[in-house]
Structure 1
Amino acid sequence: MAGDSLRILQVLRAPVGGLFRHVADLTRALAAKGHSVGVVVDSMANDAQTEGLLRALEADAVLGIHRLPMPRLFGRADLKTPFAVSALAQKLKIDILHGHGAKGGFYARLAAYGRGKAKVFYTPHGGVLHFPADKASGRLFHRIERLLMSKTSAIIFESRYAEKTYSALIGAPTCRSAVIHNGLRPEEFVPVEPVQGAADFVFVGELRDLKGIFPLVEALSRVSRPDGLPADLVMAGDGPDRAALEARLAELGIAEKVKLVGSRPAREVFAMGRNAVVPSLAESLPYVVMEAAAARLPVISTQVGGIGEIFGPTADSLIPAGNVEALSQAMTNILADPAGAQREMLTRLAHIEAGFSVAHMAQSIEALYLDPQKPAV
């Protein structure tokens, strides 16, 4: 390592979703700080979308984007890929190996065997936490986690919720651990102005039961504006329960009050509504809650996963998951008192600006890289 300039290899499996967004944001921020970064991804996840995302990252990943076979579950490649990652790390003279997700963490830590120089970091991102302890696959992954702790310089959790869940399933980390929240880019804090005729509410997410779409539309059917007219909703996204959702809207008689606009960029959709609703039945640390709040939308959400950490001083307004009555009341209240909703939004925004920016995330992770024993920023 030359001074404080590090040579870093980020290891993950599929370059999609929130996990890849985190790695991409971290790679760009670390590159801007003068570090040299490379990325290892699954060679089998190479559709048009992933290729486009990886090409966009090439300029900041100066140590290259490397593709190696990484099966989702166990496969033959699991016997070879750790050696390939180790050889790559030696060739690139890597100082820091950082594995993301169950497979990325598995490969990064196995690759460190025999390499005394490199520090090894691991961020679960849910990953291994999704494997239940009452199934053989879960027990195997959890046992591997315990064995690999001795090769881990630090485990970085994206939320206190993830840290708590990890400790309950696997055991308290025997290595250093830190909670460092995911963050938003500066442009995501630019206010979004609602378009003319914006709906009362907007939902952005996958159209599946786990996202709370059915309690949402049932709650909407009970909500009226202060002038007595029924409230309306824009829903963006697609998913396996779209047909069932459309059938439910027809049953409730509110199909004309709900506009399904398909998958679109979140900020584009935020402009279509005045208030965001995130009624999920389960989550980890969803970006959409941070994004909506940063765009200056009041947000109604459920008390699941790490959402309370995002809401911070406004967490008392979170509602129980799947509770239609509580959701409809929260939606009615926000329409009845828009000034109060704006005040709460500004309080939440200040909390997110302070602790949920890419700059804060990257600074905290960089500090751990440089000194794993030093408390996180």
Structure 2
Amino acid sequence: MPLKIIHVFRAPIGGLFRHVLDLVDGQVARGHRVGIIADSMTGGERADEIFAALAPKLSLGLTRIPMRRPLNPTDLSATRHVARRINETNADVIHGHGAKGGAYARLAFPRNQVLRAYTPHGGSLLLNHDNLSGRMYLMLEKMLLARRALYLFESAYSGDIFREKIGTPNGMVRVIHNGVSTNEFEPVAPARDATDLVFMGEFRAVKGINILIDAIALLHVRDRKVTATLVGSGPDEAELSAHVERLSLQDSVRLMPAMPARHVLTLGKVMVIPSFAESLPYVVLETAAAGMPLITTNVGGIPEIYGPLSDALVPPGNVEALADAIERTLANPAAAAKLAQDLRARVAASFSQDGMVDGVLSAYRQALGDTSAATSHALVQRR
């Protein structure tokens, strides 16, 4: 029997947006009726274009309303809007993504019975108790545990961190890895003006981009004139540009706006993702699927992607270790290509988009029909 599913999330950017789009496409293709509630203030023209193309598939509609990242009085109206959409559509599932989407999904009080599902996507999991802001948001997450829900984690790491920082989820828990589609396994060829390295992601501190810039500067000191393209957008864009200038790397490092991942992969010969924290990043899966050499850090769920290849991961925040890894990779393209092909085979075997969609739908079905879910806290479906 088809389900009526509404996805709610704040920012239509990055891996969270990709995850929701993949779920929506897969759920619609399997005959379910789907709707979306998203922020109206972020995403820019690219999000507008994507939503315009997607809207005809959304039989439960698309609404965009203001959703601010910090706590804000508009959160009350947003929560009421979610409840109203549930009532209007008689939805079976309200699936919140990220801290804000998850809060709205769990706080809404519709007249209709609905399954509440929550995928954290990092969000509050990146915060800590060592500062006031972090303590406040983690406390709010802990309070929301009172609202029973289906918890869907992208990685076993995220599930473990959630329990460590917030507590034991009140409801059924599943770990369902992100996945990529079959067409993403087509190889990509570097553009004629491709730089040695390329980065793709949000321009913010947790992504470790300053560490990459410092590593490039160190390689220049070693007389290895490495070039790089940094692709994305975010709050730290001006600071990153200034950092490049401070190190006199303007001729070697270029910043470019966000664009489709497959095009980004052509802009460099080696992808570098120097993050301090991640859940299960799509950029790693996308790069691996394309068979492109990749350098990334030993954080979050990335070791779950690499598995037995995890010795190749770099410690986060270590400029010298990152510079050494870049130098080794560029100096030995055959070894880099071998590692890339081994990682590609692992992703093909264990991280499929179809598997992700089917896993989420199976979890919905089980939670809707399992009256004993409140006592089920085991992380299952680990790959």
The TM-score normalised by the length of structure 1 is 0.85
Count of aligned residue pairs for this structure pair: 366
Distance 1:58 1:245, change over 3 A: same
Q: Which amino acid aligns with 2:59?
A: V
CA distance in 2, matches of 1:73, 1:261: 27
Matches within 5 A, 1:178-189: 178-189=174-185
Query: Who is 1:77 aligned against?
Result: 74
8 Å CA contact 1:11, 1:40 repeated in 2 = yes
Q: Sequence identity of aligned pairs in percent?
A: 40
8 Å CA contact 2:157, 2:301 repeated in 1 = yes
The Cα offsets for residues 59-101 of structure 1, whole Å up to 9 and x where unpaired, read as: 2211100234434333333334333322321221211111112
**Residue from 220, 226, 232 that aligns with 1:232:** 226
CA distance in 2, matches of 1:120, 1:100: 11
Query: Who is 2:322 aligned against?
Result: 327
The Cα offsets for residues 111-137 of structure 1, whole Å up to 9 and x where unpaired, read as: 25654x321111111223344435555
Matches within 5 A, 1:59-208: 59-112=56-109, 115=112, 117-135=113-131, 138-196=134-192, 198-206=194-202
CA distance in 2, matches of 1:275, 1:48: 28
Residue 238 of structure 2: SS of its match in structure 1?
Answer: coil
Query: Who is 1:242 aligned against?
Result: 240
CA apart distance, 1:290: 1.8
CA distance in 2, matches of 1:46, 1:322: 29
Distance 1:195 1:102, change over 3 A: closer
Q: Once superposed, what is the RMSD of the aligned Cα atoms?
A: 2.9
CA apart distance, 1:13: 2.1
Instruction: Mark the structure with the bigger radius of gyration.
Output: 1
Residue 151 of structure 1: SS of its match in structure 2?
Answer: coil
Q: Which has the higher contact order (CA 8 A, sep 6+)?
A: 2
CA apart distance, 1:260: 1.1
Distance 1:90 1:312, change over 3 A: same
The Cα offsets for residues 196-246 of structure 1, whole Å up to 9 and x where unpaired, read as: 46443333345555433343344345559xxx9835323132512233333
Distance 1:213 1:148, change over 3 A: closer
CA apart distance, 1:363: 0.9
The TM-score normalised by the length of structure 2 is 0.84
CA apart distance, 1:138: 4.3
8 Å CA contact 2:185, 2:290 repeated in 1 = yes
Residue 371 of structure 1: SS of its match in structure 2?
Answer: helix
Query: Who is 1:362 aligned against?
Result: 357
8 Å CA contact 1:313, 1:351 repeated in 2 = no
CA distance in 1, matches of 2:338, 2:303: 18
